[in-house]
């Protein structure tokens, strides 16, 4: 007797269900939904990535948790989901970026690198003996202008002006739809990212638990100092406090 229902189709990645679904890919998306929230925003002259590392214990050293990775001088990625899976994609992306510099004597385009990453993801949905990568990436970078791409475990990707991945994706995107403005100044974009992360945190965000990087057009991947993040959190003040009071 043959098994019925999803169990009949979710044991192998290469088997479609009758309604055209790949259950292992959908399970990989669930892993992403359980990951920490990451935000990406295009601003006037650059792009930023921000992640609340959601440190759950005072015994954990926050710097030991990596959620944003530098790929090249002009590209960074933020991850949500299985960080170990993301590290594998990050290493492949770094190799492709350096190979492009060696072969063509120019930095790789953000769209080309995103496509290469997603080609790897797609391959792992098509062959037996493998499983999909349980991670989504926000790929941020600059060529002639800022770019921000979101990648899916299926290998699909979409370009955004502002977006989010992880457990708070829908809430953050709803907030961004209401507050994002084209050509925002750098500090305003950082503040918006902090407000977005705070809106889905269990309490008020803490500067030491935030990873935030900016990549300006004509500049390089630059981590934002904890002191600067702390000062911007102070400037936001009541706006962040009002949310933390609601969640208590």
Please indicate whether residue 36 is annotated as part of the active site: yes
Please pick, among 36, 79, 125, 151, the residue that the annotation labels catalytic: 36
Q: Which residues contact 18 (CB under 8 A, 6 or more apart)?
A: none
- Domain 21-247: homologous superfamily in CATH: Aminohydrolase, N-terminal nucleophile (Ntn) domain (3.60.20.10)
pTM of the full structure: 0.90
Q: Which residues contact 95 (CB under 8 A, 6 or more apart)?
A: none
Please tell me the predicted confidence (pLDDT) of residue 2: 42
Q: Which residues contact 193 (CB under 8 A, 6 or more apart)?
A: 39, 41, 48, 50, 212
The per-residue pLDDT for range 88-126, each reduced to its tens digit, is: 999 999 999 999 999 999 999 999 999 999 999 999 998
Residue ranges per structural domain of the chain: 21-247
Residues of the chain with pLDDT under 70: 1-11, 242-248
Computed over every residue of the chain, the mean pLDDT equals: 90
What are 232's two structure tokens? 């911007």
């Amino acid at each position: 007797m043959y098994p019925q229902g999803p169990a009949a189709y979710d044991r192998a990645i290469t088997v479609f269900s009758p309604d055209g679904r790949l259950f292992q890919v959908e399970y990989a998306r669930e892993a992403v939904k359980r990951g920490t929230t990451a935000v990406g925003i295009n601003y006037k002259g650059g792009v930023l990535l921000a992640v609340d590392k959601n440190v759950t214990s005072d015994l954990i050293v926050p710097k030991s948790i990596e959620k944003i990775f530098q790929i090249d001088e002009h590209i960074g990625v933020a991850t949500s989901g299985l960080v170990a899976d993301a590290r594998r994609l990050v290493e492949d992306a770094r190799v492709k970026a350096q190979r492009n510099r060696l072969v063509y004597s120019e930095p790789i385009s953000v769209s080309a690198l995103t496509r290469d990453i997603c080609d790897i993801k797609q391959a792992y949905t098509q062959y037996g003996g493998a499983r999909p990568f349980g991670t989504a990436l926000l790929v941020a970078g600059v060529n002639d202008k800022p770019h921000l791409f979101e990648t899916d475990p299926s290998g699909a990707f979409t370009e955004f002006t502002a977006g989010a991945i992880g457990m708070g994706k829908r809430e953050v995107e709803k907030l961004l739809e209401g507050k994002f403005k084209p050509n925002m100044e750098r500090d305003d974009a950082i503040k918006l990212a902090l407000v977005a992360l705070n809106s889905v945190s269990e309490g008020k965000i803490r500067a030491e638990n935030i990873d935030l990087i900016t990549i300006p057009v004509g500049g390089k991947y630059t981590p934002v100092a904890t002191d600067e993040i702390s000062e911007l959190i102070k400037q936001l003040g009541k706006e962040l406090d009002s949310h933390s009071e609601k969640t208590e």
